[in-house]
Amino acid sequence: MSPSEQWVAFSTIVRKEIRRFTRIWVQTLLPPAITMALYFVIFGKLIGSRIGEMGGFDYIQFVVPGLIMMAIITNSYSNVVSSFFSAKFQRSIEELLVSPTPGYVILLGYCIGSMCRGLLVGIVVTCLALAFTDFPMHSWTITVAIVFLTSMLFTLAGFINAVFANTFDDISIVPTFVLTPLTYLGGVFYSIELLSDFWQGVSLFNPVLYMVNTFRYGMLGVSDVNIVGALVGLVVCVIALFAVALHLLNSGKRLRS
């Protein structure tokens, strides 16, 4: 395929993915908006007003970056995992596998399509947060970079999950038993300085901690982790997961007989 044909194939996949999640916006865009609004009301206003400051900011300002990041992570992941697995389940993925579209175009198309949902939900949640509080923007560059890298990382992870999944149960196991605990324990609601040395050490093995804190640094300028190390680590992880996902797609494991 020529580069222009590849571009057509790529934009077709992205449009298809965007059309899918906007068609079912009641299932994809509305629930995170309602959930996050409840978080802002309960943790930000009701409980947050009694907690006082954290990291030098009002508690609601402190949790906003974590909640935005949580929405981006879960929506980036769940979009690709459900979309790709549904395509596998209905066998409509064969439309793509039979076509001349190269594997990396398929992978990028699905990932960018899912990132669009993650980022759209992130924007919606940010707008909601502005209704409850205002917050500074310490560094646009770091904020945008960490959002894109995190969203990309979790779309790739979701893609790999979908390739290996055999049933709809298999696509809910990782979000329920891995993603949710990592996110809740990843410094969304607290600074790890509040933990004992032992649990601070344990928390440093949680990759979500680095994403949440780097994003918080981008917005508020405070962080529990080294920002450069977090960004470099994230880039390495994105490259590694992209290579794994592409290998799975090209080798046809779990996709071709």
Q: Which residues bind other proteins (CB under 8 A)?
A: 1-2, 4-6, 8-9, 11-13, 15-16, 19, 23, 86-87, 90-92, 94-102, 252, 256-257
Nearer CB in complex with other proteins: 36/96: 96
Q: How many CB atoms lie within 10 A of CB 170?
A: 14
Token representation of residue 167: 């049933």
For the bound state, the minimum distance from the C-beta of residue 11 to other proteins, rounded and expressed in Å, comes to 7
What span, in angstroms and rounded, lies between the C-alpha atoms of 255 and 93?
Answer: 9
What span, in angstroms and rounded, lies between the C-alpha atoms of 55 and 223?
Answer: 8
Token representation of residue 36: 């996050």
Nearer CB in complex with other proteins: 94/193: 94
Nearer CB in complex with other proteins: 141/257: 257
For the bound state, the minimum distance from the C-beta of residue 96 to other proteins, rounded and expressed in Å, comes to 6
Q: Write the burial class of residue 236 (CB in 10 Å: 0-12 exposed, 13-18 middle, 19+ buried).
A: exposed
For the bound state, the minimum distance from the C-beta of residue 241 to other proteins, rounded and expressed in Å, comes to 24
CA 150 vs CA 24, 35, 51, 233: distances in Å: 24, 20, 29, 11
Q: Which residues pair with 57 in a beta bridge?
A: 54
For the bound state, the minimum distance from the C-beta of residue 225 to other proteins, rounded and expressed in Å, comes to 42
Nearer CB in complex with other proteins: 87/129: 87
* Spatial contact of 248 and 172, defined as CB atoms under 8 Å apart: no
Nearer CB in complex with other proteins: 13/69: 13
For the bound state, the minimum distance from the C-beta of residue 249 to other proteins, rounded and expressed in Å, comes to 12
